[in-house]
Structure 1
């Protein structure tokens, strides 16, 4: 998040987020939360209501620029781009940034960059767990060999 984005956020939401009980409420107010239109256990067609919000637009712009970032958020955005179309990936990254902003402003703690290595380690761990789960579903028992 650059200086321009931070100024827009400060102008739109201020520093007091007490009106939002949780980050989910904050993201919903911004219009960045995924739609939850479910009836009878099935997702309904169409998205949620169209919400125009300057703070959300600034976060989407920051998410769009995250593609070139060398940190954790940039890596997660690039991973999203491989799985979904560009607009959905930008909205998901903006949602991640909104949750981050909410936590920073409510807990009054500085942001600590996790780095690309942390993202790669999480990704590898997630893939390993998925492979173990798939092997169990197929009836195989997986053991760790060779110190992996």
Structure 2
């Protein structure tokens, strides 16, 4: 049984989830740590290669594809002919052979750079192995949550890993949070309420779980790239008025509210549609909005409504 602790204007500030969820949370957070360390390792590897004049970034999405790894292994073995190295490209990368022929040209010295490259590749391989073990442990622990995970993944921008992380951070039921507002307040994913003497002050959000905020940010960034979804339209609408940072925050809040309804009501995500903001307004509101946009451009507008 989850135990509420403390309080805010909406209720519980935190809660202690059951042991299985706490264990799942440990694994998902450790997986994120491994992924972050792997990213740093790749960045260090790219730096060493660029220092040696080897630039894969201009011709390949990553140096750790099968093609990139084959070329690196050949270079570590002493290969130096650009044509031979580029010909090691596989699959769709073969269409980039002309660019790859230019990439491995530089000052790569086997007696010098190979020491760093081999160690970094070994470290990345080690992290990949550790991540596979953690993924296997996570999959064992989420088997009982499969119905919840499938419903949560109907939300735009939420893949399986994000869905698992949301369950680990928030829990798979909403018994602690009577409403979506309670959940958003506890998570710190809603504007603050700071007013004195009738004057509103900073609306900065309160501190919440850093891990949950990170997961929601990834989901929001992914949702913003989804085509034809309400979350995408809302993101771009807020960004046009208040900037990218505020748009990400608004989309985080949308996803968190959707999560509460999905879990609490036991339903799939229902997309409102990219044109929901327009449909929810009547003709008068739409006309006023369009007139306001034109007046912002320094023009005067006179509406003539034909008689019916």
TM-score, L = length of structure 2:
0.40
Aligned to 1:25: 182
Which segments of 5 or more consecutive residues in structure 1 lack a partner in the other structure?
133-141
TM-aligned CA deviation for residue 86 of structure 1:
1.4
- Determine if contact 2:192/2:202 at 8 Å carries over to the other structure: no
Counterpart Cα distance in 2 of 1:113 and 1:146:
37
Map of 2:265 onto structure 1: 107
Return the alpha-carbon distance in structure 1 between the equivalents of residues 205 and 275 of structure 2.
36
Q: Which has the larger radius of gyration?
A: 2
Q: In the alignment, is the contact (CA less than 8 A) between 1:37 and 1:48 conserved in 2?
A: no
Between the two proteins, the alignment pairs up a number of residues equal to: 138
Q: Which of 236, 241, 246 lines up with 1:83 in the alignment?
A: 241
Does 1:94 find its partner at 2:252? yes
Report the alpha carbon displacement of residue 123 of structure 1 after superposing the two structures with TM.
6.3
> 1:37 aligns to what?
194
Instruction: Pick the aligned partner of 2:306 from 140, 145, 148.
Output: 145
* Pairwise CA distance, 1:46: 6.5
Work out the CA distance in 1 between the residues paired with 2:160 and 2:190: 24
Q: 1:143 to 1:18 in 2, by over 3 A?
A: farther
Q: CA deviation at 1:61?
A: 1.5
- Distance verdict in 2 for CA 1:2–1:38, change over 3 Å: same
1:55 to 212, 235, 250: 212
1:118 and 1:45 map into 2 onto residues whose CA distance is 30
Structure 2 residues without counterparts, runs of 5 or longer: 1-157, 292-302
Calculate the TM-score normalised by the size of structure 1.
0.78
The RMSD of aligned alpha carbons is 2.6
